[in-house]
Amino acid sequence: MSKHLQVPVWVMAIGMSVTLIGGGVVGYMTHDAATARQTTTGVPSELKQVVSTYDTIRSNYYQKTSDKKLAAGAINGMLESLGDPYSVYLANTDKSSLDSTISASFGGIGATIEQTGKTLHIQSILPDTPAKHAGLRVGDQLIAVNGKDVASMTVDKAVAKIRGKIGTQVKVTVKRQGTRHTYTMKRAKITTDTVTGALSKQNQHVGIITMATFSEPTATQFEKTVKQLRKKGATSFVLDLRGNPGGMLDSALAIASMCLKDGQTIVKVQNRAGSTQVYKAGKTYDKGFKVKEPLSILIDGNSASASEILSAALNENRAVPLVGEQSFGKGTVQNVASLNSQAEIKLTVAKWLTPKNHWINHKGLTPTVKVAYPAYAKISGIGASSLKPEQTGTDVKAMQQMLAALGFDPGTVNGYYSADTVSAVKAFQEKNGLNATGTADDTTLTTLMQALSAKFTADDPQLKAAVKAAK
């Protein structure tokens, strides 16, 4: 059993802003969306007790019951009895979140919100979106959505208010130079960038391609990114799959096929009867587009499922080096079965094997080049909005660890906000142009986490090793 390193999100990319075009993450799913079967031959004998219990509750429970809740409870109970965390019942917002993640698109306005101190601001606006056409501007302070105050909400909660069904209207109120402005917009389908690319600062001939998840547009975005980086001079590539939890099989198959010779095995999927379906590289998946340049792949304890399929396929067929830490180890396959317009179940239906018949479930992939995260990358995030002298606790300890990692001596790192810690906070505040009070207010803590995130981006020993390996 591998030990999965849970590196805080803020280390990889400080989590103080949320795009209005993004969704959550999703586990690995097959490319075929199943449809739940309807039993037409009557209730199986094993389920008669379930039906009897349902009728008894409806007729005799001392309070009025909800038929929908009782049905959902029965479905949840059946899935929970499997003891499989990947087989789950999804309804309403959970279903919508999964569907949005699969498509990497949903109803939004095309802007990004960031939290600065205790206020929310427009961080960026995408071209040709409702936000752009309406007249929202970068720097606008978000005040209200549909007339309801959101100024004191978290970024996630405010964004949830703005998102909604494509084609519906939303009113967004902002403050600009002391004046309030309200814009009425119609939500549009906005596609999330699941793939980003840039040339390595270490070597301008190496293109860094980061994939956040495997959604419907990921393969197309990958091809586009490769072409853009080639034009900029990239002659080899690093595929950064750290923190990528997986996603759709089709996307993983397409990208793997682009990087392999036609006919090479990508993955083998085996059902409970032992029947195995072998997926091989070819024009069916890559449409003839190939990536023949040298490659390396970055993985960590949060690289799972489709990330592992792609990594194993390229490693076992092309000897592409895997750099970083042991991957998650998710070797099962899920299908999504629709129950109705508001609910669906995600059910494990098979297991998958690498081209060389390895089942990596609960084991993960072992890196060819093992490179650990720096110790400071494992520091927990700070949940408090502010910290004061004489205070104690885990948040104080995390702050002390961050200060020390950035070169500011907080004294003994023990979770006690001592005089030495006050001095370190003051020094940090002075260096970053903040009011040097020695008290860690919201702005100070945000700046502190951003500074440590920037340090990781600059240091990133795993990325540096991957760049060297991409040859």
Amino acid at 113: I
C-alpha span between 16 and 158 (Å, rounded): 13
C-alpha span between 198 and 204 (Å, rounded): 9
Dihedral pair phi/psi, residue 40, rounded to 5° = -110, 0
Choose, from 95, 268, 280, 330, the residue flagged as catalytic. 330
Choose, from 305, 311, 418, 453, the residue flagged as catalytic. 305
Neighbours of 199 (CB within 10 A): 15
Amino acid at 325: E
C-alpha span between 266 and 257 (Å, rounded): 7
Is 330 one of the annotated active-site residues of the chain? yes
Is 305 one of the annotated active-site residues of the chain? yes
N- to C-terminal Cα separation, the chain: 32
C-alpha span between 256 and 260 (Å, rounded): 6
Amino acid at 343: A
Amino acid at 196: T
Choose, from 223, 293, 316, 325, the residue flagged as catalytic. 316
Is 103 one of the annotated active-site residues of the chain? no
User: Strand 265-270 to strand 276-280: parallel, antiparallel, or no bridges (unpaired)?
Assistant: antiparallel
Token couple for 329: 């180890």
Give the chain as a 3 state SS string: CCCCCCCCHHHHCCCCEEECCCCCCCCCECCCCEECCCCCCCCCHHHHHHHHHHHHHHHHCCCCCCHHHHHHHHHHHHHHCCCCCCCEEEECHHHHHHHHHHHCEEEECCEEEEEECCEEEEEEECCCCHHHHHCCCCCCEEEEECCEECCCCCHHHHHHHHCCCCCCEEEEEEEECCEEEEEEEECEEEECCCEEEEECCCCCCEEEEEECCECCCHHHHHHHHHHHHHHCCCCEEEEECCCCCCEEHHHHHHHHHHCCCCCCEEEEEECCCCCEEEEECCHHHHCCCCCCCCEEEEECCCCCCHHHHHHHHHHHHHCCCEEECCCCCCCEEEEEEEEECCEEEEEEEEEEECCCCCCCCCCCCCCCEECCCCHHHHCCCCCCCCECCCCECHHHHHHHHHHHHCCCCCCCCCCECCHHHHHHHHHHHHHCCCCCCCCECHHHHHHHHHHHHHHHHHHCHHHHHHHHHCC
Q: Which residues are catalytic?
A: 305, 316, 330
